[in-house]
Each structure stands twice: as C-alpha cells, then as structure tokens.
Chains A and B, each alone.
Chain A
Amino acid sequence: MNPALLIPLQLLLTCALQVLFFQNMALWEGYGILTFHTLGILLLPLNTRPIILMLVSATVGAVVDLFAFGGGLFTSSAVAMGLFLPFINRLLAPREGYEVTDEPSIKSMGIQWFSIRTIAALLIHNLWMFSLEAGRWNLILSGWGKAVTSTLLCWLLFAVVLQLVQAKGKKR
C-alpha cells in the first residue's frame, strides 16, 4: 500500500482499537494497562522529523484522551515518548545508519532491535503516564511497578500483532 495512505491508516486503526477495546482492559489489578495507540507512533517511518513525530504523538494522545476521559494524560505521555524516540532510534542505528527502505518493524529490523526500541519507548511513555496519574509521592512506586509490567505486556501484544500481520503479508 502507498505509505502516504498506510501511515494515517495505521494511526487511525491503532487509535480506534485503543478507544473501542483496549482502554477497557485493565489486567492484574491495574498492573496491565494496554496503550495500543502507541503502536501507531512506533510504526512511523524512522526518518520522521522529531517535531513532526511530537506533533503526531500529541494528536494521537489527544484523540485517546478525548475518548478515554484522560484529560491530557495520554497526550503528555505520547509527547514525552515522541521526544525520546529519535534518540532511541539513533542509539540503536546500525554502524552504517538506516537504509531508506528500513521500517521500524520486526520484519525489517529483527526481533531484538524491535524489542529494545519498543520496551525503551514504552517505558518512557508509561513511567511518565503512571507518575502523572499517581499524583502523590506515596503512590509513585506502585505507579512505576505498573509502568514496567504494562510495558512488558504491551511489547508482547505488539510483537504478536506485528508477527500476525507480517505473516499474513508474507503469504500474499
């Protein structure tokens, strides 16, 4: 599919799934919160300009906030993730840099690259989100615990979803 169409479609689909399904899923007494909309941000092209990345992240977060009654919580967290994502990309870049055809997916970059990048970005997003949400110092530690477990759960979900989608693509 044409990337100019695919990217907005990815963002729309991940946002819609978050709003319609995943926001209602709070597993393990709140230690498993899914933020599926972050997958749309993580799948943005590797050469996306940092400012564009943050603006798109802010828009995605604001849409989720609007429907999940988050009141800016998801926007703030998505912008924080958007700020650090280019740094993470640079840290994980191959010695000769990224190819023009490289995509931030398991199929293109491998499971190890994908896992480290996803876990690092989600950790930033979730630590920011749960720290803000805690609102008090005595709840910060449990918030960070939730951030770590939710990050691992999301990473697992993203890996499974991408593997399924890519496997389907390969068959074609």
Chain B
Amino acid sequence: MRNLWNFIVQYQVILVFMVLQALALSWFISSRGYPKGKWVRLALDWESAWQGQISEWSHRAELSDQNFQLLEENARLRSRMGQSSVSHFKNRSQFIAAEVIRATWTQNQNHFVLDQGENNGVQIGQGVIANGAAIGKIIETTQKYSIGIPLIHNQLDWSARIGNSGAIGRLKWEGGDRTTGMLFDIPRSAAFKPGDSVITTGFQGVFPPDILFGTVANEEPFFDGEFLNVPVQWAAEFQSLRYVHLTDTNDGADIDSLEGTFNHSAP
C-alpha cells in the first residue's frame, strides 16, 4: 500500500495527464465529428444567438432581407413542383429555407449551423441543399437552430448514382481536397464519362432522389478489385455557402423501420 502511494506521488503529473487525456480522448472518440446531445443543444442555443447577430450585422449591407424573401419563394416553388410531380417520392418532399450562420469548411470533420430549428419544422435527418446541389444533413436541432454535417466530412457515406439510370455506389469525402469526393464500389462494366451527373438515390431517406451531388471529375478512376473508385467534383461551393433549403422526404422513418423489421426477421 505504501509502495502504491509512493508510486502515485512520484508519478502524479503523468497519472493526472493520463486520466485527463483518457477523458478527453473518450469524449473525442465518442463524438467524433458528430456534435450531438444535451450539451451541444445548450451550446447551440447560447452561441448561435450571438453568431446569428454577427451574421445579421455583416449581411445588413448586402440586402439580405430581399435575398431571404426570394429564397422562401424559391422554397415554396420547389415544394409546389414536388407536389405536381409524378414521382411518388417527390410528392412527399417539402422545402424549408434557412441561412448558414456559422460553419467550418477547412477541417476533416466539418459542420454548419443554420438559423432555423424545430419551431420552423427542422428535424434531425433532413437533407440540406443549395441551388439544387446536395450539401449535407441535419444531426441536431434546438427550438431555433440546427446543426448539420456537410458532404465534406470524412466519417460519412452517401448513396449516389451516376446519371438517372447508372451504377449506384457509396460516395465519400476522404479529406484533403474540398472540391472532390470519391464514388466507391462502381462495377467495372459501368459506362460513364467525365462530366456525367452524380445524383442522390433517395435510398437513405435523407434526400429525395435526383438531387445533384456533383459530376464525374476529369480524372482517371481507380481500380479496386472488381470495382472502380470514381472521383467526383462537388456541385456545391461550400466556402461561399450562405442560403440553403432543407428537404424532408418524410420517408426516413419508414425506411429505418423497414430496415429494422428486416434485421429482426433475418434468420
């Protein structure tokens, strides 16, 4: 017992360092790039009020009111277009306008904060688009604000398709160049060329189908066994992003429950 006490006294600095690092790293690993939970919601509310104020001051000179009115009108028109479409999925799509009041685009796990929250109908899991291009998805909400993670986040996979009826793969950003991602698991037999659209499949319940992720980049695809990894040029310009729409397919919960049923009933 005395030896143990002596050991603790002798190495107290290193031991405290290890305990603090263990706490910090377990926090880091458990939340890796996904800011969620009660404390995040509190911080989101407190700080976003301030960030929203800064955003308002900086945009005042840029006719932001008019911009926002146009954006809302655009959102209404998109909703109407969705309602008149033949597609079953598009019938269910709704759009909410929002402004990005804070964002990080230069890290490997980026995020953005929107000035719309639960009061405006924003829900966790909704897709975010800007000028017709997919941006990311909502992962946490409060009454007034919401936080989302963009395509340029190296922990996320997105279901994507080349063209309207092309091969389906797993789209991912692996860090580094913020203008391109990589479409994995494309069969070698798939036909495509640089400039072809890479669009959402709608399978994940985040985005409706046919929302643009980007285009096949003018680079050689990489061979990966029986599959190809295809570089994709993002359609969105993340760093100049300000106004976005949130889209809700209303099918995310249905898809999740169906997948749950499948998993439970699997032999």
Contacts and interface: CB of A to CB of B under 8 A. Distances in A.
The answer on A and B forming one complex is: yes
Interface of A: 19-20, 24, 26, 29-30, 33, 50-51, 54-55, 58, 61-62, 65-67, 69, 71-73, 75-76, 79-80, 82-83, 132-136, 138-139, 142
B102 A24 contact: yes
Nearest to A66: B43
A43 B12 CA distance: 23
Nearest to B47: A67
A135 B16 contact: no
Ranked nearest first, the 3 interchain pairs of A and B with the lowest CB-CB distance are: A30-B106, A72-B27, A72-B28
Given A134-B108, A135-B108, A139-B175, A71 B21 contact: no
Nearest to A139: B175
Contact of B39 (A66, A75, A138): A66
B109 interface: yes
Interface string B78-104: 000000000000000000000000101
Interface string B32-43: 111100011001
Secondary structure class of chain A's binding surface, majority of residues: helix
Contacts of B40: 69
A135 B106 contact: no
Nearest to B105: A26
Given A72-B27, A135-B154, A142-B176, A83 B13 contact: yes
Contacts of B32: 71, 135
A136 to B, nearest CB: 6
A71 B20 contact: no
Given A30-B107, A139-B176, A71 B12 contact: no
Nearest to B103: A24
B95 to A, nearest CB: 26
Contacts of A54: 13, 16-17, 20
B70 interface: no
B109 A133 contact: yes
A50 B43 CA distance: 30
B45 to A, nearest CB: 11
A106 B50 CA distance: 33
B19 to A, nearest CB: 10
A129 to B, nearest CB: 10
B24 interface: yes
Contacts of B175: 134-136, 138-139
25 contacts: A24-B51, A26-B106, A33-B106, A51-B13, A54-B13, A54-B20, A55-B20, A61-B24, A62-B24, A66-B39, A67-B43, A67-B46, A69-B43, A69-B147, A71-B31, A72-B23, A72-B24, A73-B28, A76-B21, A76-B24, A80-B21, A135-B108, A135-B109, A135-B175, A136-B174
B27 A133 contact: no
B161 interface: no
